[in-house]
Structure 1
Amino acid sequence: MKIKSDVLRTYQTIHTWTGITAGLLLFIGFFAGSLTMFSNAIDDWATPPDYQLQQIRPELHNELLNQVFADYPETVKNVTISYESNSSPIYWYGSGSARGFSLDDKMWHGTLDENGQLVTELKHVNELSMLVDYLHRSAGIVGEIGHDQAGVYILGIAAFLYFIALMSGLIFLLPSLVKSFFALRKEKGANRFWLDSHNLVGIASLPFHIIIAITVVVFSFHDLFYSGLSQVYGNKPLFGGEDKHHEVRYELEDLPTLNEIHAKVAQYAPGFSILSINFRGLTGEHPSASISIVNDKSFMRGPHNDFLFMNPYTLEIDTSSVTNGNGQQGIWGAVVTTFFGLHFGSYGGELGRWLYFIMGLGGAFLFYSGNLIWLEKRRKKQSTEQSKSSHFMANLTAGVCLGCAIGIAGAFAASKWLMLGDWNINVAYMWVYYALFLTSILTAFKFGAARFSIFGFYGLAALCLMIPITSLIGFIPQTGIWLPTSASDYGVEIGSIGFAIASMLAAKKVKKRVYEGEKNSIWYCSKYTSEQPSASLA
């Protein structure tokens, strides 16, 4: 394919500057986002085995629910029945709610003892996975705009730039795509190898990146999109169905049994299993039951499950609320569900989650390597002295990218130790992450990207290794540290070891380049002195 050179240069410039502008924010989003694929496993690992109360047989849940209503009348406003084996059979919020990222949530847990009597406990909610998801959605940018984090909107703008970078990169690579797609030319120098790796990862996972870019823009600005569509639809329901909200108050004794709710769900959504049922406003004018259901062979609105909404008294189902292939969702309901499913990767079971995890890490690599390539290109255009802007970007790249990974690893490494203290663990997670993240950035600017990259990767490896080492202390009685108890727990431990090995290998490579590379590079440092390349005033 023949494209004029001036056109290619234009698209290359667009690709470079849109990537540089948004790259560091997107690195955080992708790195944290890859970990959210296993958020349930993360929460299970970070929570002591005795945190959840003993699960009971499904036929006893109705009796448990009635006892909770009798002893805790406020639960008619909001209570959840859970059928998952690693969850308390019933729980409700003592403070806070399930919406948004809250640092001071407390939850009541309930179960039945061997005599059929109600047992309850009030505990802080451990939200380690929520911290990771918060970074994924907002890149850790603090502050709020309206009812959402400011970082969500900023990341939406970054995703739009990211889409432009993808399209422009594809265009200027087209002429050489077939010839150099699988080429990794190490013999032509580090920069060529980085460029080939960057292009290979970007092209190989292009459909995934297009999906993520578009869906992030939609999620970030969905309120604006809905407002625009409402100008067309007027008062007509946007997502199908009719407005059937009637102001009728029901009596709690008229509530159907859980078995009847199960039967209705099985009839409406065959192939889906019920994970939990959340009841809200049971004595109000608009009672509802939000039912968490799962089918790994179908698109689902959540990362791990779908939702079905019904009136818990009439068992009337909101036909726009579930993806079950019966065609009752309506056009926009189906569109929204597809966006959610494609972004979360919640349609391929464990294999789908692993693929999204790998491609998420590949996306983080894409932004990190893109900045390195840009810095090397600037070096070749400059004299033997590097500009201050090049040093600034190198320090920022190393500080933000490594700082994000170090901060998350530090929160994981500290998790089981923090559970031993009597404090709000979610606030502690935030302190650990931001302390390590900001310290990494300051250290990168203090010692330079080259020197910081070496001990940054070694520090990351050490924190990752602390995760399984801490668990081994659980063999010592009376320490309060607990051992892994499930396959998902062991998966977190093994994953941390994998990250530690990768970090040590990266540190070895970086160390060789820093001490043995070209002396006019921003990645060079003398092994014996504090010599670094000088920065010109350019």
Structure 2
Amino acid sequence: MFSKDTLKNLTHAHTWLGLIISGALMIIFVCGSLSFYRAEIHQWDRFHNFHKALPTEQIPVSHVIDKLQELGYDIRFNDRVSIDLPSENKPFYTVFFPAIQDGKRQYVNYSFAADDGRLLDLDRNQFFLADMLYRMHYHLYIPSIGFELVGIITLIFFVVLLTGLLIHLKKIISHYYQYRTDKAKDKYLDGHILIGVTAFPYTFMYALTGVYFNLALLFQASFGFAAFNGDFTELNRVLGKPDVIQHTARGLTLPTQQYDALISHIKTRYPTHQLTYLFSYGMADKAAHVEVILRQPGSLHEYHRLRFALDDFTQLSGDTIKHHPAQASAATFEALHYGTFGGDLMRFLMFLMGLACCYLILTGNLIWLEKRAKKRQQSKVGLRFVSAMTLALSSGVLISVAMCFVITRFLSEYFAMQTILVPVFHLSWFFAMLHAFVKNAPRKVMIQQLIMAALLFLLAPAYDLFNGMLAIRPLLIADKAIWWVNGALTTMAILCLLIARHYNKGTTK
């Protein structure tokens, strides 16, 4: 199908591009896989400090807004006040808004109990693990350029996938079930190919949607200048984005109970949807607007955004997803990327597919390292450093993530998590690199680091199970969110042990 030179070039491109992005890609996939359970991790994180089931009788939103106004913040008319409504995974109100503190404009957040409206001592920055993993996933915690960097990495990943497919295209059917176990090299290569081909639809979809999310703004900016001569208003109209609604304060105050009436109006109008978020522009002013996000479980286009006037409930902007192909396409990409449309089973399957991609990275790196070690015409010190760095950014990343869960579960009362988690993450893979450099045996290092990661992943689930069985905290074995997170951690531990055992067999032969 292809000439030898073409296959050789494709192989070099696949190998070197994959190696270059493997470290960042490992972080993206490990943190992204766990981010399927972001809401559950939030609840898991808060559990030892606060937990209460979602009450059947909840205070209205107006009560929360009254409480917020009593705090005395000077909130500008056009500032957005975000209200996260109670849910099973987060059984309390969370309010998030910009305010002036210590002479600086910064964001403030408060949490209120859903049953009586009391102010809860829940610091958003303290319960930070889920947010950190999510940020690691989409910008590697490099706020300035990380977003675009992840987009470029995803674009390269797209090329790696295509080159891998082309390399094995001729034998993709006839050799699909081939799995040679007599030689370690063949076993790793066959495993790499088998998982790569099986997971290709998933990885292709994630590469495509990842490029869209992280580079769409750059593509739109280029297209705006090229096709619309810099007229971005016209570009937004063509893309179906809602017009910016200009409004000014009237100086007349509405009763906060108007929010309750608006919510009742929305629930009556959209009985099959769940109201999840509420964004207020103008608070209780007569000219205030309220934007809401409705969730329709089981739908491919799960989330819908609408805006209403608080005064008379006039709908100011509709759901453009249903009426515009560009917005519908964007919503479809988002639904495919997050996988929420298929329920809990779909999330778990996509979580497993994310871990399968981690296996591709681990095997690909190990194959390359052992192949390079056999070549004599190269610097031994240089190869040793590259080997240590590669291992640290593959199996070492698993140790880093596991350490963050351990620190969160056992040391949250003693340290500010937003301050300590990111340094712990980086220090963990640095020590993993040091271990790999000193040991200088790639396969043995990967086995040892996978076993270490597995033990760390098991610590928190074992601790929660122990406390639950002793009835110290019985809800630890009854809460759905705790089960999901501990189940995900246990799954990761089992997979680490299975891969380590798989590699160890190759070592002993």
Q: TM-score, normalised by structure 1?
A: 0.80
Judging changes above 3 Å, is the alpha-carbon distance between structure 1 residues 376 and 459 closer, same or farther for their aligned structure 2 residues? closer
SS in structure 2 at match of 1:276: strand
For structure 1, list consecutive stretches of 5 or more residues without a partner in the other structure: 98-103, 518-538
CA distance in structure 2 between the partners assigned to 1:152 and 1:199 by the alignment: 30
Paired letter, 1:426: Q
CA distance in structure 1 between the partners assigned to 2:2 and 2:360 by the alignment: 25
Residue 164, structure 1, aligned to residue 163, structure 2: no
SS in structure 2 at match of 1:175: coil
Q: Deviations over 1:239-266 (max 9, x none)?
A: 3444442335364416634243343365
1:45 Cα deviation (Å)?
A: 1.0
SS in structure 1 at match of 2:187: helix
What's the counterpart of residue 34 of structure 1? 33
1:511 Cα deviation (Å)?
A: 4.2
What's the counterpart of residue 18 of structure 1? 17
1:277 Cα deviation (Å)?
A: 2.3
What's the counterpart of residue 423 of structure 2? 431
What's the counterpart of residue 85 of structure 2? 82
Partners of 1:69 and 1:75 within 8 A in 2: no
Deviates more, 1:52-61 or 1:356-365: 52-61
Partners of 1:403 and 1:436 within 8 A in 2: yes
* Aligned residues: CA RMSD: 3.5
Paired letter, 1:371: N
What's the counterpart of residue 103 of structure 2? none
Paired letter, 2:400: G
What's the counterpart of residue 204 of structure 2? 210
Q: Percent identity?
A: 20
Deviates more, 1:163-172 or 1:487-496: 487-496
Paired letter, 1:130: D
What's the counterpart of residue 460 of structure 1? 453
Q: Deviations over 1:347-368 (max 9, x none)?
A: 2121221121111111121222
1:26 Cα deviation (Å)?
A: 0.8
Pick one of 104, 109, 112 that aligns with 1:110. Answer: 112
What's the counterpart of residue 201 of structure 1? 195
Paired letter, 1:192: D
Q: Deviations over 1:123-170 (max 9, x none)?
A: 312121111112211335x4x43xxxx222222211111111111221
Residue 357, structure 1, aligned to residue 359, structure 2: no
1:436 Cα deviation (Å)?
A: 1.2
1:331 Cα deviation (Å)?
A: 3.0
Judging changes above 3 Å, is the alpha-carbon distance between structure 1 residues 173 and 205 closer, same or farther for their aligned structure 2 residues? same
1:428 Cα deviation (Å)?
A: 2.3
Partners of 1:395 and 1:445 within 8 A in 2: yes
CA distance in structure 1 between the partners assigned to 2:363 and 2:114 by the alignment: 55
1:495 Cα deviation (Å)?
A: 3.1
CA distance in structure 2 between the partners assigned to 1:496 and 1:459 by the alignment: 13
Pick one of 450, 469, 492 that aligns with 1:499. Answer: 492
SS in structure 1 at match of 2:59: helix
CA distance in structure 2 between the partners assigned to 1:500 and 1:81 by the alignment: 33
CA distance in structure 2 between the partners assigned to 1:6 and 1:392 by the alignment: 31
Partners of 2:94 and 2:109 within 8 A in 1: yes
For structure 2, list consecutive stretches of 5 or more residues without a partner in the other structure: 101-105
CA distance in structure 1 between the partners assigned to 2:20 and 2:338 by the alignment: 25
Q: Within 5 Å, which residues of 2 pair with 1:134-213?
A: 134-140=135-141, 142=142, 144-145=143-144, 150-187=145-182, 189-213=183-207
CA distance in structure 1 between the partners assigned to 2:279 and 2:196 by the alignment: 41
CA distance in structure 2 between the partners assigned to 1:171 and 1:475 by the alignment: 51
Judging changes above 3 Å, is the alpha-carbon distance between structure 1 residues 365 and 374 closer, same or farther for their aligned structure 2 residues? same
SS in structure 2 at match of 1:398: helix
CA distance in structure 2 between the partners assigned to 1:133 and 1:96 by the alignment: 25
What's the counterpart of residue 363 of structure 2? 369
CA distance in structure 1 between the partners assigned to 2:408 and 2:354 by the alignment: 24
CA distance in structure 2 between the partners assigned to 1:241 and 1:79 by the alignment: 19
Aligned length: 489
Judging changes above 3 Å, is the alpha-carbon distance between structure 1 residues 454 and 372 closer, same or farther for their aligned structure 2 residues? closer
CA distance in structure 1 between the partners assigned to 2:201 and 2:23 by the alignment: 21
Paired letter, 2:180: R
Paired letter, 1:340: E
What's the counterpart of residue 118 of structure 2? 119
CA distance in structure 2 between the partners assigned to 1:246 and 1:207 by the alignment: 46
Q: Deviations over 1:100-122 (max 9, x none)?
A: xxxx9864222376xx6x52234
Q: Deviations over 1:373-418 (max 9, x none)?
A: 23344456x3599955544443222211122111111111121222
1:95 Cα deviation (Å)?
A: 7.9
SS in structure 2 at match of 1:123: coil
SS in structure 2 at match of 1:298: coil
CA distance in structure 2 between the partners assigned to 1:453 and 1:309 by the alignment: 52
Deviates more, 1:389-398 or 1:437-446: 389-398
What's the counterpart of residue 529 of structure 1? none
Judging changes above 3 Å, is the alpha-carbon distance between structure 1 residues 173 and 431 closer, same or farther for their aligned structure 2 residues? same
Partners of 2:151 and 2:211 within 8 A in 1: yes
CA distance in structure 2 between the partners assigned to 1:49 and 1:494 by the alignment: 18
CA distance in structure 2 between the partners assigned to 1:485 and 1:105 by the alignment: 35
Judging changes above 3 Å, is the alpha-carbon distance between structure 1 residues 316 and 393 closer, same or farther for their aligned structure 2 residues? farther
Pick one of 379, 387, 390 that aligns with 1:394. Answer: 387
What's the counterpart of residue 397 of structure 2? 404
1:312 Cα deviation (Å)?
A: 3.5
What's the counterpart of residue 436 of structure 2? 444
What's the counterpart of residue 130 of structure 2? 129
Q: Deviations over 1:472-498 (max 9, x none)?
A: 564699999984440220232233333
Residue 315, structure 1, aligned to residue 309, structure 2: no
CA distance in structure 2 between the partners assigned to 1:205 and 1:477 by the alignment: 41
Deviates more, 1:281-290 or 1:445-454: 281-290
Residue 258, structure 1, aligned to residue 260, structure 2: yes
Residue 416, structure 1, aligned to residue 409, structure 2: yes
CA distance in structure 2 between the partners assigned to 1:218 and 1:252 by the alignment: 43
Paired letter, 2:66: Q
Judging changes above 3 Å, is the alpha-carbon distance between structure 1 residues 129 and 470 closer, same or farther for their aligned structure 2 residues? same
CA distance in structure 2 between the partners assigned to 1:447 and 1:320 by the alignment: 61
Partners of 1:83 and 1:274 within 8 A in 2: no
Partners of 2:40 and 2:482 within 8 A in 1: yes
Partners of 1:61 and 1:89 within 8 A in 2: no
Paired letter, 2:422: M
Judging changes above 3 Å, is the alpha-carbon distance between structure 1 residues 108 and 225 closer, same or farther for their aligned structure 2 residues? same
What's the counterpart of residue 91 of structure 1? 94
Partners of 2:113 and 2:120 within 8 A in 1: no
CA distance in structure 1 between the partners assigned to 2:114 and 2:453 by the alignment: 44
Judging changes above 3 Å, is the alpha-carbon distance between structure 1 residues 14 and 277 closer, same or farther for their aligned structure 2 residues? same
Partners of 1:247 and 1:285 within 8 A in 2: no
Partners of 1:124 and 1:424 within 8 A in 2: no
Partners of 2:22 and 2:394 within 8 A in 1: no
Paired letter, 1:461: A
CA distance in structure 2 between the partners assigned to 1:239 and 1:291 by the alignment: 19
Paired letter, 2:111: H
Judging changes above 3 Å, is the alpha-carbon distance between structure 1 residues 387 and 241 closer, same or farther for their aligned structure 2 residues? same
What's the counterpart of residue 216 of structure 2? 222
What's the counterpart of residue 294 of structure 1? 295
